[in-house]
A and B are shown apart, each in its own frame.
Chain A
Amino acid sequence: MTYMIGDWELVIGLEVHAQVTSQAKLFSGAATAFGASPNSQVSFIDAGFPGMLPSINAECVAQAVRTGLGLNAQINLWSRFDRKNYFYADLPQGYQISQFAHPIVGTGEIEITLDDGTKKTIGITRLHLEQDAGKSQHDQHPSKSFIDLNRSGVALMEIVSEPDMRSPEEAGAYVAKLRQILRYLGTCDGNMDEGSMRADVNVSVRKPGEGFRTRCEIKNVNSVKFVMQAVEVEARRQIDVWESGEEVHQETRLFDTARGVTRSMRSKEDAHDYRYFPDPDLPPLVLDAGWVEQLKASLPELPDARRARYVAMGLTPYDAHVLTLDRETAVFFETMACGRDAKLAANWLTGDYFAALNRLKRDIADPPVSAEHMGELLDLIADKTLSGTIAKQVFEHMLSGEGAPAAIVEARGLKQVTDTGAIEAAIRAVMEANADKLAEYRSGKEKLFGFFVGQVMKAMAGKGNPAAVNELLKAMLAG
């Protein structure tokens, strides 16, 4: 099923800038933490002071390689930094140190899954390391912009896709999937609202079967939803241009989220001759093949592999999908399910536990009940100490902070009775007290069985093992 607007097809490619998770900046020892006061996390290197020179942060290199491995991409053992020259208020050196001709990571791929379940592979062209720029604030003064260089020099991975996407949904799925992979790898926190991940969206339109038409780049789109909206409105704008007999001009545009339109970016108009050349301050970046292998061996399991494993463990594809959406949930699930019935664990987690998170407005990264305690709860169900009904009660007590399930069961006397003698005694008492109903049952009114179950459970304050109660009751009622 092809997504079309009228008789136009969309062609979308994305350049995602993902902030590398690291303590210090790519080429300086200044901190990267979000939200610090202006210009407080700035070295003279980041501010482009005279005589200052870059030296590279090992962890940023490792993170780029991990990401490349996670995208099934080629790792280039020899790469190089180039300067991208342009003037801008928040670019202190007058150039950005980037990797133009020889990126650290080459071609790879990402598989996306659409809402209708179809899968599609999106090609990754490259991933390179580069410096972030500072931040300009335009709304603090009537005639001035204010420059904060805290972000200047923070390591970014620019991840460039092939123009393989054909609909807003595919573009959105790609960004979501990329974000999921980065978060699994721990190489980018993926906080799009803090700017740790931004997408430059390249959009063009064409009639099916045509070659590519002129594209426009929409800069710095900062949510999955906005990526999808930007693709759609930009495509519609271009279609209008073409259909009115005019030409689309290659340019950089901004997505105005308030008005839902894209508009041309004045400030980037003449910045097109970047005069890239190898940065003479930085010798080549050379990786040891053995070191790359070590990183590969220590890579966490990624969502696709994890999902497949969960399905193999007997989970439904839907549960497997939900439990692998982020790494915290998957890790929680595996801790909880370790050595136990995976299906039961999945049911509890996606059911009662997620409902509780919703109700309490908590996150699985900051869980109200630990995965270990949830596992212990499953154990008590498995060894028939608790019935399903009582387990839910115990879980509520756990949520209110009463501690380990065994202790709650002990303190509140919630142990399930599986002692057949006790059950038989209870059944006898019920039969005696309801001789009329017993007679009706024995004369063929089998619907009354439920009534007897209820009475027995009531007599046992809910602690009777339901299976045992059922079995014994059936036998004794029969006489």
Chain B
Amino acid sequence: MSVDIATIKRVATLSRIHVEPAALPGLAQDINAILGWIEQLSEVDTTGVEPMAGGGATALRWRDDVVSDGGQAEAVLANAPDREGEYFGVPKVVE
């Protein structure tokens, strides 16, 4: 599966990363090199093999339904690049 420039553009958009048009071919080349190398996985017969999502605890532990957090608007907002009073500010969103 070789990735073309249009695909790289789409992936960049999905990733919300601006890529200068001039940088697209180089990026495509890098990504294709990596994907080409990854391609060797197709040799492995995985018929009927359960996927492994991760390790650690095997089932979720449940927390009690008690309010134990929050009430710290100042701390939540303290690192905001654009703070508007009690809110985070962003450029106006048109729905």
Determine whether A and B are in direct contact in the complex, meaning some CB atoms lie less than 8 angstroms apart: yes
- Chain A interface (Cβ < 8 Å from any Cβ of B): 22-24, 28-31, 37-47, 55-61, 80, 87, 89, 136-138, 140-149, 254, 265-267, 270, 273, 275, 278, 280, 282-286
Find the A residue at minimum CB distance from B74: A39
Partner of A55, one of B61, B92, B93, B94: B61
Asked whether B56 lies within 8 Å of A283 as measured between CB atoms, the reply is yes
Asked whether B93 lies within 8 Å of A45 as measured between CB atoms, the reply is no
Partner of B13, one of A143, A147, A270: A270
In B46-95, the 8 Å CB interface with A consists of: 53-54, 56-73, 75-77, 82, 84-95
Find the B residue at minimum CB distance from A145: B93
- Report the minimal beta-carbon distance from A222 to chain B, rounded to whole angstroms: 14
0/1 string, B18-36, CB within 8 A of A gives 1:
0000000000000000000
Task: Known A-B contacts: A29-B68, A46-B70, A144-B89. Give 18 more (CB < 8 A).
Answer: A24-B63, A28-B70, A31-B67, A42-B73, A44-B76, A57-B62, A80-B53, A89-B90, A141-B89, A141-B92, A142-B92, A145-B93, A148-B86, A148-B87, A254-B95, A266-B94, A280-B53, A280-B54
- Report the minimal beta-carbon distance from B15 to chain A, rounded to whole angstroms: 9
Indicate if B14 sits at the interface (CB-CB under 8 A). yes
- Report the minimal beta-carbon distance from B62 to chain A, rounded to whole angstroms: 4
Find the B residue at minimum CB distance from A44: B76
- Report the minimal beta-carbon distance from B83 to chain A, rounded to whole angstroms: 10
Q: Chain B residues with Cβ under 8 A from A28's Cβ?
A: 69-70
Find the B residue at minimum CB distance from A94: B16
| Count of A-B residue pairs with CB < 8 Å | 143
Majority DSSP secondary structure for residues of A touching B: loop
- Report the minimal beta-carbon distance from B29 to chain A, rounded to whole angstroms: 23
Find the A residue at minimum CB distance from B15: A87
Q: Chain A residues with Cβ under 8 A from B68's Cβ?
A: 24, 29
Given A30-B69, A31-B70: A144 and B76 within 8 A (CB)? no
Given A144-B84, A286-B59: A278 and B53 within 8 A (CB)? yes
- Report the minimal beta-carbon distance from A66 to chain B, rounded to whole angstroms: 13
Asked whether A56 lies within 8 Å of B62 as measured between CB atoms, the reply is yes
The answer for the CA separation of A80 and B62 in the assembled complex, in Å, is: 14
Asked whether A47 lies within 8 Å of B90 as measured between CB atoms, the reply is no
For chain B, the bracket of interface size reads 35 or more
Given A39-B86, A146-B84, A148-B87: A284 and B73 within 8 A (CB)? no
- Chain B interface (Cβ < 8 Å from any Cβ of A): 13-14, 16, 53-54, 56-73, 75-77, 82, 84-95
Find the A residue at minimum CB distance from B62: A58
Partner of B87, one of A39, A254, A273, A280: A39
- Report the minimal beta-carbon distance from A448 to chain B, rounded to whole angstroms: 73
Q: Chain B residues with Cβ under 8 A from A45's Cβ?
A: 69
Asked whether B61 lies within 8 Å of A267 as measured between CB atoms, the reply is no
Asked whether B60 lies within 8 Å of A283 as measured between CB atoms, the reply is yes
Most chain A beta-carbon contacts within 10 A, residue among B70, B75, B84, B85: B70
Find the B residue at minimum CB distance from A82: B53
The answer for the CA separation of A251 and B12 in the assembled complex, in Å, is: 23
The answer for the CA separation of A46 and B70 in the assembled complex, in Å, is: 9
Asked whether A144 lies within 8 Å of B92 as measured between CB atoms, the reply is yes
Asked whether A39 lies within 8 Å of B73 as measured between CB atoms, the reply is yes
Given A141-B89, A144-B84, A145-B90: A22 and B57 within 8 A (CB)? no
Partner of A267, one of B65, B75, B93: B93
Asked whether B67 lies within 8 Å of A58 as measured between CB atoms, the reply is no
Asked whether A29 lies within 8 Å of B70 as measured between CB atoms, the reply is yes
Find the B residue at minimum CB distance from A275: B14
- 23 sampled A-B residue pairs with Cβ under 8 A: A22-B65, A24-B69, A29-B69, A30-B67, A31-B71, A39-B86, A39-B87, A40-B70, A56-B61, A58-B62, A58-B63, A144-B84, A144-B89, A144-B91, A145-B91, A267-B93, A267-B94, A278-B53, A278-B54, A282-B60, A283-B58, A283-B59, A285-B60
